[in-house]
Structure 1
Amino acid sequence: MNTSRILIFTGGQLGGWALDIITNEDFLIGADSGALFLTQNGLRPNVSLGDFDSVSPEQLKAIREASHTTQDFDPIDKNYTDTELAFQVALAMQPKEIVMLGALGTRFDHSLANVHLLRTAYEHGVPMVIMDEHNTIRMTANELVLQRSMFPYVSLLPLTSVVRGITLEGFQYPLHEATLEIGQSLGISNAIVAAQGVVRIREGLLLVIESRD
C-alpha cells in the first residue's frame, strides 16, 4: 500500500494547530491519548493503537467506537513506545511522507527518541517530519530545500558524531563546506533571507529545525 501521507498523532503537546494540518486525503493514526485527541475533535482515526494507559475506560470505549481499527498492546509486555508502534505501522505502508504530531512534550526522553525515528524513516526511504506549534524538525543526508515560512529560525544539529561538507544558500549566515560536530552550537538560530534556503551536506546526518518562540 502506498498512502500519500500518514499523520501520526501521539501523546505529547497537541492543539488546534494540529487539526489545521489534516487534509481529506491523509491516513490518520492515533497512538494512545493521540487517538483520544482525534476522536474528541470529531475525527475517525484509521488506526488507533497503544496500551491506552493514558485514557480512562470510558475514553477507550469512545476511541474504539470512532476508529476504523484498534490495536491493543500490553503495557508491560511490549518493547516499544506507543509512538514507535504507530511509526512501525506507518512505515510498513511505505507512504510518500510521515508527519508526526504530538511527538514533542514534557518527557524529553520520549521527545528525543521520537526525533531519532527520523533516521529510521530515512533508512527506509520514507520522508518524515516532526511538527508542533513551535517547531518543524527534519533530517537530511544530502540536500534539503526550505521555503520561507512563519518560522524565523533555522538551526542545524548533527545527528551523527560529525557532519561534513555543509553548504548553505539563501541564509543570513551562509556556510561553504563546513563541518559540525556533536556538542557545537555553530548551527543554531540561522535564518532564511531569500525566497528559499538550501541545505546541502556531503557526509553524515543533519537535523534541520525550523522554530519560533
Structure 2
Amino acid sequence: MAAKLSIGLVGGAGSLPDLRAENHHIWIGADAGAKALASAGIRMKLAVGDFDSVSEADLVMIRQYADQVLLYSPEKDETDFELAIRHAQEIGASDVAVYGVTGGRLDHELINVQMLYRLLDTFDQTVIIDRQNAIRMHRPGTYRTIQEDTYRYVSFLSFSEQVTGLTLTGFKYPLTDASIHWGETLSISNELVAQTGTYSFTSGIVIMIKSKDV
C-alpha cells in the first residue's frame, strides 16, 4: 500500500492559523497563499496562480521559497484555489488541508466550503482550517473524532436537504437515529465528553465543524 501524502494548501490570505505549527509532507501556495507561506519562511513545492493580489517584490520573495512557480493569466476559467487543487491531484495527494480560504469575502468563503463537496471523491480527506475552525464534509458512514484542546465545539450541519440516521456517541448531547434538515440547529455547538467520539448517518451529506471561541 502506498504511503499517504499529506499536502498543506494555502489558497489565500484569509483567516490563517500559525502555519509554522502545521505539519505536511508538501506545501502548495496559491496566489496570496504563496506569499503567506513565504512570509512564514515555509518552503513550498509549488506556487501557482495569476498573482494579481501580490506585488512584484512579493513575487520575488515567493520565488525564493518555491521549488516551482506557475504563472497563469488572470483571464481563466479556474480560480487560483482550483488550480492548486488540480496540481495537488497531479502530485498524488491523499490528504489535503486547506488554509486561507475563509474569513474574507463571503462569496469566496461560501464557494470554497462548497468545494469540499466536489472533493469528496478526489482525496481521502479534505479539511479547511482557519484560526477558529476545522471544516470537513462526509458522505454516509461511520466516523471517529478525537477530543482536542484546540477545539471545544463540534457541530453537524446538513449540506443536503436532509440527513437521516444521525447518531452521536461520546458527546455531551448524544443523538440516536436523528434527522436534520437545512436551517435546523439541533446539532450545533455540541461537545465531546469522551476522548474519542463517533458520528454516523445513513443518508445525505454532513458538514462537520470543529470550532473554538476567539
| TM-score (norm: length of structure 1) | 0.92
Equivalent position amino acid for 2:6 in 1? R
In structure 2, distance between residues paired with 1:60 and 1:2: 33
Equivalent position amino acid for 2:42 in 1? L
Give the equivalent residue in structure 2 for 1:152: 152
Secondary structure, counterpart of 2:19 in structure 1: helix
Equivalent position amino acid for 1:7 in 2? G
Which of 52-61 and 119-128 deviates more? 119-128
Give the equivalent residue in structure 1 for 2:50: 51
1:125 shift after superposition: 4.4
Contact 1:2 1:94 in 2 (8 A): no
Give the equivalent residue in structure 1 for 2:22: 21
The 1:9/1:85 distance shift into structure 2, 3 A limit, reads: same
Secondary structure, counterpart of 1:100 in structure 2: strand
Give the equivalent residue in structure 2 for 1:192: 192
Contact 1:31 1:82 in 2 (8 A): yes
Secondary structure, counterpart of 2:86 in structure 1: helix
Equivalent position amino acid for 1:102 in 2? G
Contact 1:2 1:95 in 2 (8 A): no
Q: After superposition, what is the alpha-carbon deviation per residue over 1:40-62, rounded to whole angstroms, capped at 9, x for unaligned?
A: 22222100011111110111122
Secondary structure, counterpart of 1:44 in structure 2: coil
Q: After superposition, what is the alpha-carbon deviation per residue over 1:122-181, rounded to whole angstroms, capped at 9, x for unaligned?
A: 122431111112111111211221100121111111111111110111111111111111
Counterpart among 75, 89, 103 of residue 91 in structure 1:
89
Give the equivalent residue in structure 1 for 2:5: 4
Secondary structure, counterpart of 1:173 in structure 2: coil
Which of 199-208 and 114-123 deviates more? 114-123
In structure 2, distance between residues paired with 1:115 and 1:147: 22
Give the equivalent residue in structure 1 for 2:103: 105
Contact 2:95 2:123 in 1 (8 A): no
Secondary structure, counterpart of 1:105 in structure 2: coil
1:114 shift after superposition: 1.4
Equivalent position amino acid for 2:185 in 1? S
Give the equivalent residue in structure 2 for 1:165: 165
Equivalent position amino acid for 2:72 in 1? F
Q: Return 5+ residue gaps in structure 2 as ranges.
A: none
Q: How many residues align?
A: 209
Which of 112-121 and 30-39 deviates more? 112-121
1:66 shift after superposition: 2.5
Give the equivalent residue in structure 1 for 2:138: 140
In structure 2, distance between residues paired with 1:3 and 1:197: 24
In structure 1, distance between residues paired with 2:199 and 2:170: 9
The 1:2/1:50 distance shift into structure 2, 3 A limit, reads: farther
Q: Return 5+ residue gaps in structure 1 as ranges.
A: none
| TM-score (norm: length of structure 2) | 0.91
Over aligned residues, Cα RMSD in angstroms?
Answer: 1.6
Give the equivalent residue in structure 2 for 1:34: 33
Secondary structure, counterpart of 2:180 in structure 1: strand
Give the equivalent residue in structure 1 for 2:210: 210
Secondary structure, counterpart of 2:189 in structure 1: coil
In structure 1, distance between residues paired with 2:19 and 2:112: 17
Which of 46-55 and 35-44 deviates more? 35-44
Equivalent position amino acid for 1:170 in 2? G
